[in-house]
Amino acid sequence: MSIQKPKGTQDLLPGEVEKWQYVEAKARELCERFNYREIRTPMFEHTELFQRGVGETTDIVEKEMYTFMDKGDRSISLRPEGTAGVVRAYVENKLYGEPDVSKLYYTGPMFRYEQPQAGRYRQFHQFGIEAFGSVDPSIDAEVIALGYTFYKELGLKEVTVELNSVGNPAVRAAYREHIQKFFAPVKDKLCKDCQSRYDRNPMRILDCKIDQKYCEGAPTIVEHLDEECSTHFQAVQDYLTAMDIPFRLNPRLVRGLDYYTHTAFEYKAGGIGAIDTIGGGGRYNGLVGQIAGGGNDQPGVGFGLGMERILLVLQAQGVDIPGVKPLDVYLVGLGEAAERETVKLLQGLRLAGLRAERDYLGRKIKAKMKSADRYNAAYVAILGDDELASGEITVKAMATGEQETVRLDAFTESMQSRIRHV
């Protein structure tokens, strides 16, 4: 039996991959406009980084990591998300204050051992940004705005920003008690996961799909914010409003990672069913210090957007994005000497910046013309042995069927000027 791809992974084939390139190019271009610079970190890290960073009691670290011992007996994990690695690189390379606030972005594969379904994979891709060094709520708003603008410029419809504050550690510690008190009477009825969350991470119960019926009337963290937290939260909302970024407050929004403080947000989209969270993020003051092992703490805020989900939404909503680009020129040689000459002409066209192709299968003219059609070529250039002898080539515009004879020594230039005018 032939070998198949592992469960939860995808082959991105030509035809589909152009859409990915388009979405990735949009991410890069937008990051340039917002003054974020690219960072590339390893796809695997020491397991401890994610235990410390993402949190020991999160589903991601408890159940979903691809962890293995390498040949040097080190515990290694494939990255389940981007933030922990970027924070590690920020600390290790002392990027503090470069040039003032460090604004970084990344795109690439992440790995989580989850039950695959539409929009959920074991290898998936994120576009993420992280901004370090500022506690100013305007940067929380900037991060949210960048993600929102990204979706909008790609043409996604019905994108909603859900916003919450998860407070600071002191607020959360107090809130933890309220929430434990609330769930105490139904503790035994909660699902197995939530029974263990009750002691270790009770806020996560609010996020459980199974136990929603017990969450009705649960106290929200927003009701328990202290002054510092509510001032920050209000300022983020004011900045979003000033920037015309629509948002909806969701006091139940709890993110699946432990590092958040203050701002937490998610982007939701219509048209893809139950798994409708296309991105999420928030502020994480304290994480840098935690990963640095004390010492230089720096505040941070960022997001991670799921690329597969963006492509699913674009498809579900029928948004057209540019696919394969058509060829500029398809070269057809008729006769041995002419065929050989097309190799040289093809190289000339490509060096001149044109998208050009020829036949490599020694096929008849009809089959070659069919290929030109399949590649959507704007022009077909036909060279016969006779024409070669007289130093000419026939150029046919595929849209109009018009034909013209061009001097071989002026061929590349002539094609260049035609393409420029298409």
Q: How far is the CB of 7 from ligand HAM (least distance, A)?
A: 12
Q: Which is nearer to ligand HAM, 119 or 333 (CB)?
A: 119
Q: How many CB atoms lie within 10 A of CB 82?
A: 24
Angle at 252 between CA 246 and CA 257, to 5 degrees: 95
Q: Which of 81, 89, 134, 133 is nearest to 108 (CA)?
A: 81
Which positions touch ligand HAM (CB under 6 A)? 81-83, 112, 114, 119-121, 124, 126, 128, 130, 256-257, 277-282, 302-304, 306, 308-309
Residue closer to ligand HAM (CB basis): 146 or 332: 146
Closest approach of ligand HAM to the CB of residue 124, in Å: 3
Residue closer to ligand HAM, measured from CB, 51 or 83: 83
Q: How far is the CB of 220 from ligand HAM (least distance, A)?
A: 20
Nearer to ligand HAM, 124 or 411 (CB): 124
Helix (H, G, I), strand (E, B) or coil at 257: coil
Least distance from ligand HAM to the Cβ atom of residue 316, Å? 14
Task: Report yes or no: 268 and 310 within 8 Å, Cβ to Cβ.
Answer: no
In whole angstroms, the minimum distance from the beta carbon of 256 to ligand HAM comes to 5
Return binding residues. Answer: 81-83, 112, 126, 130, 255, 259-260
Quick check: 178 and 295 in contact, CB under 8 A?
no
The DSSP annotation for 326-391 comes to PPSEEEEEESHHHHHHHHHHHHHHHHTT--EEE-SS---HHHHHHHHHHTT-SEEEEEEHHHHHHT
Query: Which residue shows structure tokens 């790995």?
Result: 111
> Which residue numbers belong to the known binding site for L-histidine?
81-83, 112, 126, 130, 255, 259-260
Closest CA to 33 of 102, 103, 128: 103
By beta-carbon proximity to ligand HAM, the closer residue of 233 and 303 is 303
Return the DSSP state at 295: S
